[in-house]
Amino acid sequence: MNKEKIEKPENKCELQKILDIIGGKWSMSIIYALIPEKRRFKELERIIPGISTRMLVKELKNMEENGIVTRTAFATVPPTVEYNLTAKGKKLDPIINDLYQWGLEYIN
Amino acid sequence: MNKEKIEKPENKCELQKILDIIGGKWSMSIIYALIPEKRRFKELERIIPGISTRMLVKELKNMEENGIVTRTAFATVPPTVEYNLTAKGKKLDPIINDLYQWGLEYIN
């Protein structure tokens, strides 16, 4: 095995940073759910099977801080919160679709 | 908001299955490390920053069971184990690269 060929660790660190943001168990499912349109919190909770309220709150907060989703609160009774993908988040659409196609071809 | 537009949950379940296999914190980093060539366990451990031995064992086992990597053991002293991407695993190369490019453009 040729040791010269091993890439420098910096590359791996970059990928780790990316995966810390969108590589979680739930973040890609949330992005996927937001691709067709913006959604209310309750809606996301309903259409992402298996996610807990706490985890959805946590993931959305993380994604908002990383500029992947925007959060808009409406002063309704009860209060409504709507999430939408940013331009940066929308750029993940084809990647998640490719991943999905890969899965359709190779899983099951 | 138009309720008709919400996709059926089955789609989300499919994506969850895919993400259960390759959406973990480490699996994409492992695939990325195996793209240029097959690698020994010790090598993977060294070039993936922050992964524990236990986690690497666990992830590789999961990836082997899901047909993403092959594991070849050599009866050397000490024993050597080599991992390589399967054809199915190699198909993830362009997707991980797109993700990486997205990160370079949007992170930092």
What's the total number of domains in chain B? 1
For the purposes of burial, counting CB atoms within 10 Å of the CB of B96, is it exposed (0-12), middle (13-18) or buried (19 or more)?
Answer: buried
Collapse the DSSP code of B69 into the 3-class scheme (helix H, G, I; strand E, B; otherwise coil) and give the result: strand
Assign A10 a pLDDT band (cuts: 50, 70, 90). low
Residue at A26 is within a domain: yes
Assign A108 a pLDDT band (cuts: 50, 70, 90). low
Residue at B2 is within a domain: no
User: At residue B108, does pLDDT exceed 60?
Assistant: yes
> Using one digit for the tens of pLDDT, what is the confidence trace for A31-73?
999 999 999 999 999 998 889 999 999 999 999 999 999 999 9
> What CATH number is associated with residue B84?
1.10.10.10
Q: Which residue of A has its CA nearest to B18?
A: A103
Interface of A with B in 1-40 (CB under 8 A): 1, 5-7, 9, 12-25, 28-29, 32-33, 36-37, 39-40
Residue at B4 is within a domain: no
Residue at A75 is within a domain: yes
Which H or E run contains B64?
A: helix B53-65
User: At residue A9, does pLDDT exceed 70?
Assistant: no
Q: Give the 3-state DSSP-derived string for A68-80, with helices as H, strands as E and coil as C.
A: CEEEEEECCCCCE
Q: Residue A18: what pLDDT? A: 84
Collapse the DSSP code of A50 into the 3-class scheme (helix H, G, I; strand E, B; otherwise coil) and give the result: coil
Specify whether the CB–CB gap between B9 and A50 falls below 8 A. no
Residue at A3 is within a domain: no
Q: What is the ipTM of this complex?
A: 0.78
Give the domain range for residue B59: 9-106
